[in-house]
Amino acid sequence: MRLLVGAGILSLLTFLNTRPSVTAALPPPVRVGLVVDLTSDVGRKSLTCLCMALDDFYQKHPDYATRVELRLNDSHGDLVTSAHASEELMDKNGQLQAIISPQTSPEAAELITGTAEHSNIPILSSSATSPASSSSSRSRFFVSTAPNISSQAAPIASIFKVFAWSAAVLLHEDSPYGVGILSALVHAFQGSPGLTDSVAVPGDATDSRLDAALLALKTMPTKVYVVHMPPALAARLFRRAGVAGMMSEGYVWIATAGVGNVADSLPNPGDIDYMQGVVSLRPYVQATDRVRSFWRRFKMRFQQENPGVEQDEPVTLLWLYDTAWAAAAAAEASFRTAQPTALIDALLVTKFDGLAGRFGLVDGQIQVSVYEIVNIIGNGARTVGFWTPELGISTSLHPKVENTASTDSASKELKVILWPGETAAIPIGWNFASRRPGGLRVAVPVKGGLGQFVKISSDPAIAGDRVSGYCIDVFKAVMTRLGYPVDHLYVLADGIKIYDALVNMVHDKKFDVVVGDVTISSSRMKLVSFTMPFTETGWSMIMAEKGGSGSMWIFTSPMTLELWLTILAFFFFTGFVVWAIEHRINPRFGGTPQKQLGVLFYFAFSTMVFSHKEKLESNLSKLVVIMWVFVVLILTTSYTANLTSVLTIQQLQPAISEWTDRDYVGVQENSFIEDILREMGFDEARFRRYSSIDEYADALNRGSDNGGVTAIFDEVPYLRLFLSRYCRGYSMVGPTNKSGGFGFMFPKGSPLVGDMSRAILELAEDGVLTRIENKWFSHPGSCVGNNGGSNARLGLWRFRGLFLINGVVSCLMLLIHLARFVYQERARGQVKANTAGVLPWLCAWLRRYCAFEGQRGGEPVSDGRAAVELNHMQDSAAEEAAQQEGAMGDSYSTHVDATDF
């Protein structure tokens, strides 16, 4: 027995002695350094997460030859210490093959990237990084396994588009991380005013420093703020904003993912109370069974390792978990390769389905395709929508749509958001009342003449001046259409070069808007912004007229070709209907086919001058003729009136065919038209300047030889005003040259420009602008709308109702007549269908219908005997009439059935 025990022990010792030889056959462990702040809860959670990730990875892949071995170094939460900790790991462990830094800041990355690249050691960072830190052009060995902060710019711009905000102020940490999103945001807004300002806040800013920054923001008109800061600094900022009254109704706060990622797990529970109404972003992670299982196991393990520490579910731990999996997978893929860069090469092409989604690097950067939009309400964040590059913003990742139009609609929706102040009303995003007492400062140019545009009058009731006019009424209508109140105060501006001066004053923000007859021009738009024009654009000239027309076809001009052809067609149609009803019972419409055709055309066209003399027998044809004569009367009257206009006013021609050295031209004082005329070659010595439309008329009447002018050059709105009052003897001639028209002038970046432009377009579509224009530019007895050209020709569309009634009546009478004929012939049994087919039967009916029915006891007379019978009746009638007091022989004894009445 002892021998057997001894042999067993010897065998065990032999096995144990041979085990190192087996271990020696395995590849050495892949040493990965870990730089983490173990003094913080975040650092301890990161360590637990990494250990869990490696345990899970090798439990799923037990046959893998490689093993990742973590080498820990504590950064103690200090920037310099973090960089030194990384360098120390590389110095101590000559075989160190990678470094994972869950809390890498851009500053720390800058310090350790150079050493890492020199040593060919990859650095894996699972914290959000700036574009500069993660750029592949900086270091091939710096890998970011967290989303780049610049990828949030597109979702933020989409939110602005949904709510029609045009301007915002960026508040960011004064660090590479803070400014990293600035250029991306500017590019994402794509030409809109976008970011009107940015405020940098130091990471260690005191409360007084934060209060000073917020006070400066409070005096600005823009009330939309984008906050890009680490969670701790952002929480302090929102707390001070609440104290300053800036977390109330009317303010908008959009926070980047630094806040959204920890909104449900803030270290200080009281911070959430100061973030009520904030809208934020965070990368979307689907809550799968695998994710839920991870959180359950993580909480259990972390509680065992760190009793009493508060547990939460920050999404950054999911990125860290996937980072450890990626390192382990790359280690296995690269251990057989002797290349120095084998690990980084394998890491850059590693792909798998991780906890946070599909893991895959593009230029050393993880890509995020879906962002979740959250609204901080109550004790956490509530999802209100999603953003994807394909759909933009939507309430669901898979919206159910019927067509393309609904897809566009779904991509611009969000669930109801509770904004600061616990209101669901969408803030307009700005407030001028906080800038100046009285609100918007509205400059009104004052000049003599042309008071219809801007009129200044004294008003004892208000002990001052009252502002009125076309431009003022348009401005009031636009402000009403905005849908939100904007306080404003009119300020009169007077001067010789008032318009040029106003451009500079608005550029210097001495005024918030200029309301008046201010022309939009490219040179002015370099300094200020304009709304869309609210008047007709362009400029032209007016001249005195002379009579005369040399066209030989002037008589056709009152009507359009379409109307002429329609009238001709109805002449033929009416004649045919009358013939169809009368030819069987009225000898005037009988006889040979040639005679019937001649009577048809003669009768139809004689109605045009009311000279038709044929006696009608049927009441049906009489009704047709009465309706047609009424139509002819209306057409003749309209034609006569329009032809009269053509031969008088409309054919007046300008009194000059070419310019000579004796011709002077008139322009409005201080008008940009002078510069255009100089460029066209007009001599400035030939300019004569005027300030009212009455002066225009007097100058044109006197002419160049008598101290006046040959033509007046001005913008179309002014010329329309002139022609509305002086509508006889003047014409707007020549082409209408394009210009900007009148618009309201604002400083660059004003948020009111877009809203007022939309309101102007709505007023134009609703006809409000036309009614305002008629109010100021129409006068009793004037030619409203006269522009010196020809009046509108008479078209078919104006008479469509008249032709419709006449056509319906004629067709109805013809149908009644045909129905009677069919009924009579069936009753008589004169025509019967035979066995040869339908066509012979139909021909028999037509011959019967076309035959003239005379006085022979109601029997029809054949075509060959019709003329003889007709002559006989005419002779008998003539003799009888001569015997009866010389009456004219135009009476006929014709047979008419009772059904013809």
The predicted model gives 199-205 an average pLDDT of 92
Q: In whole angstroms, give the CA distance from residue 187 to residue 371.
A: 19
The amino acid at 239: R
Predicted confidence (pLDDT) at residue 90 exceeds the cutoff of 80? no
Instruction: Give long-range contacts, CB 8 A cutoff, 24+ apart: 389-397.
Output: 389/154, 392/158, 393/155, 393/158, 393/159, 393/162, 397/284, 397/370
Predicted confidence (pLDDT) at residue 487 exceeds the cutoff of 90? no
Q: What pLDDT does 132 receive?
A: 52
Give the pLDDT band (50/70/90) at residue 234. very high
CATH superfamily to which 149-283+370-394 belongs: Response regulator (3.40.50.2300)
Q: Which of 42-56, 150-164, 655-669, 763-777 has the lowest mean pLDDT?
A: 655-669
What stretches of 608-672 show up as alpha helix (H) in DSSP? 619-645
Residue 377 and residue 276 in contact, taking contact as beta carbons nearer than 8 Å: yes
CA 509 vs. chain centroid, Å, equals 29
- First and final C-alpha spacing in the chain: 145
Answering whether pTM is above 0.85, one says: no
Give the pLDDT band (50/70/90) at residue 789. very low
Q: Which of 39-48, 144-153, 389-398, 406-415 has the lowest mean pLDDT?
A: 406-415
Predicted confidence (pLDDT) at residue 883 exceeds the cutoff of 60? no
Predicted confidence (pLDDT) at residue 856 exceeds the cutoff of 90? no
Q: Please name which of 683, 321, 256, 743 lies closest in space to residue 531, comparing C-alpha atoms.
A: 743
CA 56 vs. chain centroid, Å, equals 52
* Overall CATH class of domain 30-147+287-365: alpha beta
Q: In whole angstroms, give the CA distance from residue 79 to residue 791.
A: 82
Q: What pLDDT does 53 receive?
A: 95
Highest mean pLDDT: which of 158-172, 725-739, 771-785? 158-172
Predicted confidence (pLDDT) at residue 652 exceeds the cutoff of 90? no
According to DSSP, the residues that pair with 667 across neighbouring strands are 689
Q: What pLDDT does 865 receive?
A: 39
Element (H, E) at 688: strand 687-690
- The domain locations on the chain are 30-147+287-365, 149-283+370-394, 554-650
Q: What pLDDT does 103 receive?
A: 63
The predicted model gives 758-776 an average pLDDT of 90
- CA distances (Å), origin 526, targets 84, 127, 263, 747, 869: 52, 43, 44, 11, 94
Q: What pLDDT does 884 receive?
A: 44
Summarised one tens digit per residue, pLDDT across range 340-357 is: 788 999 999 999 999 998
CA quadruple 272, 275, 281, 287: dihedral positive or negative?
A: positive
Q: What pLDDT does 276 receive?
A: 95
**How do beta strands 30-36 and 68-74 pair?**
parallel
Summarised one tens digit per residue, pLDDT across range 246-305 is: 999 989 999 999 899 888 877 787 889 999 999 999 999 998 999 999 999 999 999 998
Q: In whole angstroms, give the CA distance from residue 623 to residue 612.
A: 15
Q: In whole angstroms, give the CA distance from residue 423 to residue 76.
A: 43
DSSP structure string for 203-216? TT--HHHHHHHHHH
> Mean pLDDT in the chain?
78
Highest mean pLDDT: which of 460-469, 507-516, 719-728, 823-832? 507-516
Please give the residue that has the higher pLDDT: either 59 or 452: 59
CA 499 vs. chain centroid, Å, equals 32
Element (H, E) at 459: strand 455-459
Q: In whole angstroms, give the CA distance from residue 753 to residue 744.
A: 8
The predicted model gives 559-575 an average pLDDT of 87
The predicted model gives 141-156 an average pLDDT of 88
Summarised one tens digit per residue, pLDDT across range 711-739 is: 999 888 888 888 877 866 787 877 778 88
Packed helices 207-218 and 231-243: angle between N→C axes, nearest 10 degrees: 60
Give me the percent of the chain exceeding a pLDDT of 70: 75
Q: What pLDDT does 610 receive?
A: 64
Give the pLDDT band (50/70/90) at residue 613. low
Give the pLDDT band (50/70/90) at residue 763. very high
Q: What pLDDT does 544 receive?
A: 79
Predicted confidence (pLDDT) at residue 787 exceeds the cutoff of 50? no
Predicted confidence (pLDDT) at residue 782 exceeds the cutoff of 80? no
Q: What pLDDT does 892 receive?
A: 33
Summarised one tens digit per residue, pLDDT across range 463-484 is: 567 888 899 999 999 999 987 7
Please give the residue that has the higher pLDDT: either 133 or 168: 168
Residue 720 CB: number of other CB atoms within 10 A?
19
The predicted model gives 447-462 an average pLDDT of 74
Count of all residues that appear for the chain in the document: 901
- Domains 30-147+287-365 and 149-283+370-394 agree in fold: yes
Q: What pLDDT does 840 receive?
A: 62
Packed helices 768-777 and 470-481: angle between N→C axes, nearest 10 degrees: 160
Q: In whole angstroms, give the CA distance from residue 111 to residue 99.
A: 14
Q: What pLDDT does 657 receive?
A: 53
Q: What angle do CA 777, 783, 784 make, to 5 degrees?
A: 40
Q: What pLDDT does 405 receive?
A: 42
The predicted model gives 106-132 an average pLDDT of 66
